[in-house]
Each structure stands twice: as structure tokens, then as C-alpha cells.
Amino acid sequence: MLEIRQENKKDYDEVYSVIKTAFLTADHSDGNEQELVVNLRKSNNFIPELSLVAILDNKIVGYILFTKIRIGEYEEIALAPLGILPKYQRQGIGRKLIEKGHQIAKKLGYHYSIVLGSQNYYSKVGYVPASQYGIKAPFEVPNENFMAIKLNNTDAKITGIVEYAKEFGI
């Protein structure tokens, strides 16, 4: 049975391997996602509760990380990366990691999560082009690939250009 839980320090080496392996065959990858995670863990933008692993048969088969971003005066979150070992892809594990992350983020009081990725994949869990909320990327990207999901209702007008953690190199 699939278990999703917060990552702990004993998981770091296995998570590194999972991310590296997962992105070897990805359509869009800079090949450095595993190093990004290592660097984000050391940053002020790291949220331990939103660093999650998926465990099946006593091994980590998937990982997701949400980190702090700024949109105007508001602190929100970005999903990056999400990696599932190739053998376990297309089984709903990524979706379960995303949903668990959203559930935790809501409890933590975040209003929006943004992601840069496949509109075909992320739209299945409710992401829409971020421009629909007035949220813009800090770089050139097709509108359909820079997406957001509203996690909590707010009357605040949260719009503007996303400011990522410096570890993203943006």
C-alpha cells in the first residue's frame, strides 16, 4: 500500500537517486533537479512539511517539493520538482503526492501554488494558466505551461510576477 509522508534526513540519499532517475527520461529537464532539491533544503524557502515522499514496498518511489515564492507582497508556494521512478509512473502516485501537498499547504495557510510544467498533466489536478489569476512568470514561457491553483479562498488580490527562491537561478 502506498504511504505518503514528510521526508526526513535519512531519506536524502534515496530521494536524490529517485529524482535523478526520474528526470533521466523526462521530456523537459536540465538534468540538475536533484541538486536543486539539495540546495533548496538549505534555503529559507524550504518548508519541511511540504517535502514529501511516496513509499511503496518499503522503498521511496516518488518525491515532491513545494517551496516558498513571493507574488507581490504575498508568500505563496511553487511545486518543483515532482519525480516518480519510471517503473512507477502512470499509476497515480504523482497525483497523490500533489493532493497531499495541497492539503498540507491549505492547512499552512497558503493561497496559491504555481508550477511550470505540462498543461496536460497538471490540469488534471486543477492547475490552470496562472495568467487567469493575474500571476506572471519572471521569464518567457508559453502561457499554458505556467500554471496556478487556488488553494484557499482569499479576498486579497494576489497578482504580479513570481519571485522564486534564488536557488532556482531565475
Place of cell 540538475: 32
Give the alpha-carbon dihedral of 111, 82, 161, 104, to 10 degrees. Answer: 10
pLDDT digits (tens, 9 = 90+) for 17-26: 999 999 987 6
The ranges assigned to domains in the chain are 3-168
Q: Mean pLDDT over residues 39-44, rounded?
A: 96
Q: Which CATH number fits domain 3-168: 3.40.50.2000, 3.40.190.10, 3.30.2420.10, 3.40.630.30?
A: 3.40.630.30
How many residues in the chain? 170
pLDDT digits (tens, 9 = 90+) for 96-122: 999 999 999 999 999 999 999 999 999
E-strand stretches of the chain? 3-6, 46-56, 59-71, 74-84, 112-116, 128-129, 135-136, 146-150, 160-163
Mean pLDDT, the chain, whole residue set = 94
Question: In this predicted structure, what is the pLDDT of residue 113?
Answer: 98
| Identity at 90, one-letter amino acid code | R
Provide the whole-model pTM.
Answer: 0.95
Axis crossing angle, helix 33-41 with helix 12-24, rounded to the nearest 10 = 150
What's the rounded Cα separation, in Å, for the pair 59 and 79?
22
Question: In this predicted structure, what is the pLDDT of residue 92?
Answer: 97
Percent of the chain surpassing pLDDT 90: 91
Positive or negative CA dihedral for 122, 83, 39, 51? positive
**Bridge-partner residues for 59, per DSSP?**
56
